[in-house]
Amino acid sequence: METIPAVSQLEVTPAASEASAVIRVEDAHKYYELGETRVHALRGVSIEIQRAEFVAIMGASGSGKSTFMNILGCLDRVTSGRYLLEGINVSEHDKKALALIRNAKIGFVFQGFNLLARTTALENTELPTLYAKIDNTERRKRASDALAMVGLAERAQHFPSQMSGGQQQRVAIARALVNRPSILLADEPTGNLDSRTSVEIMEIFQNLNDKGLTIVLVTHEHDIAQFAKRVLVFRDGRIRKDDPVLSGPRASEVLKTLPTLED
Ligand code: ADP
Ligand code: MG
């Protein structure tokens, strides 16, 4: 295995480390080169997100939401501008360092659940810990704890094909949590789910957020965005709106009003 520097050895910008912002983006631009053409996907995005915020991102297709999420998740870098994640100036680091930061600090959930088919819920959840220097007992414990957090303790030995879409997405959330990340990033996590199951996923997000987890979620459904505490609207690579959600619903309350599958 290649040796990579510990996160503590990465440069921490003094001014940023004093602030409480988990995410600080300053005038971010992103260009994609497509042969002769350049796509200007982000056109000057600046934002701060504090610890324990729950932010929903909305906006038309092509407005730059996924580009922005990939940058927040250290999957890609800004072309110009800066991104500070917990005071670490991510924009200055190379791919190896980005991978290390990502594994330690970020949990991802996508629209497709991306679980390994012939692998149990517990083993799927364990996968991200394989890069961490912990023994197998600790690995197993962390994965079991993460599955319990999403209400799937009893399904640890089930395979994806034996689970509903909602249960598979919960395994994906457990997998995202297993390394105890600073931020959970979710790009359209309810895009493949029915209404009730979507609200169940939002209930899990609200519960995790109550415990202090910072969450950034992309959705094109207005009703889903209302479960967050703050909504950003992207348009043409810029943030056009940034509004708090005032007295948004609790997913657990909404669930009481929705029919279950058995009804
Ligand atoms: P959204 O997630 O809001 O639909 P994206 O961030 O995926 O928007 O895309 C923003 C713009 O960047 C679009 O014009 C899209 O076609 C372009 N784009 C996204 N990813 C790439 C890529 N890997 N290569 C080239 N262009 C891309
Ligand atoms: Mg997208």
Q: Could you write out the DSSP letters of every residue in 239-260?
A: EEEEEEPSSPPPHHHHHHHSPP
Q: Which of 43, 67, 68, 111 to mutate to test the pocket of ligand 1 (most atoms within 8 A of CB)?
A: 67
Closest Cα to atom 23, ligand 1: which residue?
A: 32
**Checking phi first, is residue 152 left (phi over 0); if not, alpha (psi -120 to 50) or beta?**
alpha
Tell me if residue 192 falls in helix, strand or coil. Answer: coil
- Give the residue carrying structure tokens 């997405």: 169
- Give the residue carrying structure tokens 């399904």: 155
- Cα–ligand 1 centroid distance for 32 (angstroms): 8
Is 47 in contact with 25 (CB distance < 8 Å)?
yes
- Give the residue carrying structure tokens 């895009």: 191
**What contacts 79, CB < 8 A, 6 or more positions away?**
29, 30, 31
Q: Tell me if 62 CB under 6 Å of ligand 1.
A: yes
Tallying the residues shown for the chain, one arrives at 263
Q: Residue 131: pLDDT band by 50, 70, 90 thresholds?
A: confident
> Which ligand lies nearest the alpha carbon of 236?
1
Query: What is the mean pLDDT of the segment spanning 220-244?
Result: 97
pLDDT surpasses 50 at 259: yes
Q: What is the mean pLDDT of the chain?
A: 91
pTM: 0.91
Note the pLDDT of residue 262.
Answer: 61
Q: Tell me if 219 CB under 6 Å of ligand 1.
A: no
What percentage of the chain has pLDDT greater than the value 90?
81
- Report how far residue 178's alpha carbon sits from residue 12's, in angstroms, rounded to the nearest whole number: 25
Instruction: Say which amino acid occupies 158.
Output: H
> Which ligand lies nearest the alpha carbon of 33?
1
Q: Tell me if 128 CB under 6 Å of ligand 1.
A: no
Question: What tokens appear for 3 in the block?
Answer: 């040796």
- Tell me which of 3.30.2290.10, 1.10.3720.10, 3.40.50.300, 3.90.850.10 is the CATH number of domain 50-77+105-257: 3.40.50.300
Which atom of ligand 1 is nearest to 59's Cα?
3
Is 79 in contact with 31 (CB distance < 8 Å)?
yes
Q: Residue 19: pLDDT band by 50, 70, 90 thresholds?
A: low
**Domain range annotation of the chain:** 50-77+105-257
Closest Cα partner for 224 from 199, 243, 204, 194?
199
Strand pairing report for 80-85 and 54-59:
unpaired
Q: Tell me if 141 CB under 6 Å of ligand 1.
A: no
Query: Based on the number of CB atoms within 10 Å of its own CB, is 231 exposed (0-12), middle (13-18) or buried (19 or more)?
Result: buried
Question: What tokens appear for 88 in the block?
Answer: 């670490």
Question: What tokens appear for 55 in the block?
Answer: 């932010």
pLDDT surpasses 90 at 244: yes
Q: Residue 260: pLDDT band by 50, 70, 90 thresholds?
A: confident
Helix axes 136-149, 165-177, angle to 10 degrees: 130
**pLDDT tens-digit readout, 75-122:** 999 999 999 999 999 988 888 888 889 988 999 998 898 999 999 999
Closest Cα to atom 21, ligand 1: which residue?
A: 32
